[in-house]
Chains A and B, each alone.
Chain A
């Protein structure tokens, strides 16, 4: 309770909440505008309507504001929960209480967890507005996406906590935490322009994990990896928070934590449980194809001669490779070095654009990145004949609406309500203590 009061009494929390409301409002109004423009022609042509997916068009762009808030604002709130205790001397008192450092960190995590929920709640008012405008929300997609953002926020909190426990001041901790979260951006950006190790590493970045949820995919390995990362960061925070332990001992404990979590993460990486929560099954092949691919017990090797920035590779990643990774038990993807031999390079390379598949000694080549051509090729290699099952037709949800009028809610009413709540909570401290004071006075009136 003390921790919760500490978080809610801080200006950082309320400032972040108001900023998030403004950001969400802007993202939502822009997203509805773009969605409406695309829907105008889709309303007339059913084929185009299939492409009108609220997850991609509304939910992900609007909740992009949550991503920004978690990356840039949440660290300040989380850091404050620990750094302020260090700066004001409260930590010296807390460490002497009958509480273990682990329990201390747990209470702080719980307080920040509640703060994250409270932070996101007002911004979620865009959902009833979207439904009122005639929009559609597929609940599993929304819950999965919110879960992804919650896990992302939890890991960012862990980074901020560790930064605060290692730093002497709030500002140093903030720089350290922001450097960590922003490095994921840099890693993703660099991976799009270069292949090799950086490209492989980018699969394990925090933003890549969140991206799976944004695509409507529930991946148990991603969930476990994010939970383990958060757990490790909180455990490291609890290790480095106490001041009376020698550095050598802290380093040793940290090493053990990292080792144990790495082992658990290795195991989690093999948790091949994926659920495609999208309404249009965008993350899945036809069930018949998936059954056949699951039966490919020998290693399937793929060599790709495409540069990382080539849009064909990006499409293939989304439409084929990602799905193959989730279905084929033993898949090996090799990104061949195309440096200097790219599409726009002066050095011609005949192999550029080629994709080679090898299974049980048999080999096939193709330049297509479409599953329609690749899947028959793979079935041929494995010697299976597949007859696609008939799937339910996804019709799409075109909506032509104008959300600009709701700017009043996001830019005016909601921020005003938050400012009022801020003021009320600031006052509540005094009000409740007036009650306390009366109680003290009543009982010891003779003394006072």
Chain B
């Protein structure tokens, strides 16, 4: 499988990235080189192999989904680029 410029632009859009023309060229080349390299996985017979989703099997129960007060609201708001009261402010959607 190989990627052309159009596909690179499409992926960038999916990833919420805006690329310059120069970057599009660079990424087309680099991504194709990497995809070519990972292609060797296709020679590995994985018929019937259960995909491994994590490094360790966890059968633990999850903790209760309960809201707790971190006590960090003011500090976290201070990290926001723009805020008003206890809300983070962003430009309107369009």
User: Do chains A and B interact in one complex?
Assistant: no
